[in-house]
Amino acid sequence: MHVSTELEPHHPVGSTKLFSIVWMWLLLLTGFEIFLAYERVEVHIMITILVGLSLIKSALIMAYFMHLRFEKLGLFLIVVPAMVFCICMMMIMFFPDSLRLTHLPRL
Amino acid sequence: MSVAEMEGVLETPWSGGKSPFAVNSKKLGMWLFIMSDSLTFSALLISYAYVRLFTPDWPRPFEIWPAIAKSSFMTLVLLSSSLTMVLAVAAAYRGQVKRAVWLLIATIACGLAFVVIHATEWVTLIHEGITPWSNPINPAVPLFGGAFFGLTGLHMLHVTLGVVYLGVICWGFNKGKWTAEHVEVSGLYWHFVDLVWMFIFPMLYLLSVNPK
């Protein structure tokens, strides 16, 4: 019985032009973040926008630089949803408690 | 079940006969490491966000010039190193050894530049009296130093280890000891280090810009 142990060679795809465009988008988004800091936007608004932009930037890095967009769907499914789930669980654990603390009288 | 039927079963993607992810074990191992390491950084960043948001008098010591300008330059250096790294992987798969080695050297140079600039910034802050357990700006919030040095220190450790890792891979690939797959796996680690900085830079630096 033949069982295949060798993987088919999998060459990452993507051209220099594509990677350069992604790099420029990353720079552009970073530039916008710095602009927000320069304008001293209010901290709660700022953190929301910054986390959003960071998520977009990390998605670009994972999709193109780490080639996740070109991998099989199975790899994406074992990596990303589990990670997102764990991070959401951490946030659920932390933030309700922190909101409760802000409503306590200051000593 | 006949032998032919058994072969058919074992060669379906989810039955073990073929890799369901179509990646080699090195790459899958690196992805699993990245998953676990990202949770470490997430826990630190979430706990930092927790104390940062709900401490009204959190210190905001960074001026646009020079602290934010310097950290922005560090971001540019790290993003550029990711570009050279991804191009090195592509060159390695195309069999362009010399080009891949030079691109890896450029990546290592960017990593070293990042570490050196970061170290000078640490020295400046320490001279101003900010340490992991105290800060003179607002002594009531000693967590500022702990959060800053803890997060950036762990990241800097990853960058330093990455530089060593890439150096070893670069040497081995040039000698023909290792393959393009090794370059790709080291690239995954390097991009992860870059990805983490995409969160640390805005959360730690941009949210601590002096409001005046």
Element (H, E) at B200: helix B180-200
The token pair at B129 is 């009296």
Average pLDDT of B83-92?
A: 95
Average pLDDT of A54-68?
A: 94
Chain A residues within an 8 Å CB radius of B7: 1-3
Q: Is the pLDDT of residue A106 over 60?
A: no
Residue A105: pLDDT band (50, 70, 90) is low
CB distance B54–A53 less than 8 Å?
no
B62 vs B167, higher pLDDT? B167
Average pLDDT of B201-207?
A: 90
The token pair at B53 is 């948001």
Mean pLDDT for all residues in chain B: 88
Quote ipTM for the complex. Answer: 0.87
Mutate to test the interface with A, among B51, B78, B82, B204 (most CBs of A within 10 A): B82
Q: What is the pLDDT of residue A7?
A: 44
Report the DSSP beta bridge partners of residue B209: B62
Q: Is the pLDDT of residue B152 over 90?
A: yes
Q: Is the pLDDT of residue B8 over 70?
A: no
Residue B146 contacts residue B133 (beta carbons within 8 Å): yes
Tens of pLDDT, residues A8-29: 445 667 789 999 999 999 999 9
Element (H, E) at B84: helix B69-93
Confirm whether pTM is higher than 0.90: no
B63 vs B152, higher pLDDT? B152
Q: How far is A23 from chain B (nearest CA, A)?
A: 7
Residue B162 contacts residue B190 (beta carbons within 8 Å): yes
What DSSP character marks residue A39?
T
What DSSP character marks residue B62?
B
Q: How many CB atoms lie within 10 A of CB B173?
A: 21
CB distance B17–A4 less than 8 Å?
yes
Chain A residues within an 8 Å CB radius of B199: 51, 54, 58
Chain A residues within an 8 Å CB radius of B46: 87, 90-91, 94
Lowest mean pLDDT among A43-52, A65-74, B51-60, B119-128: B51-60
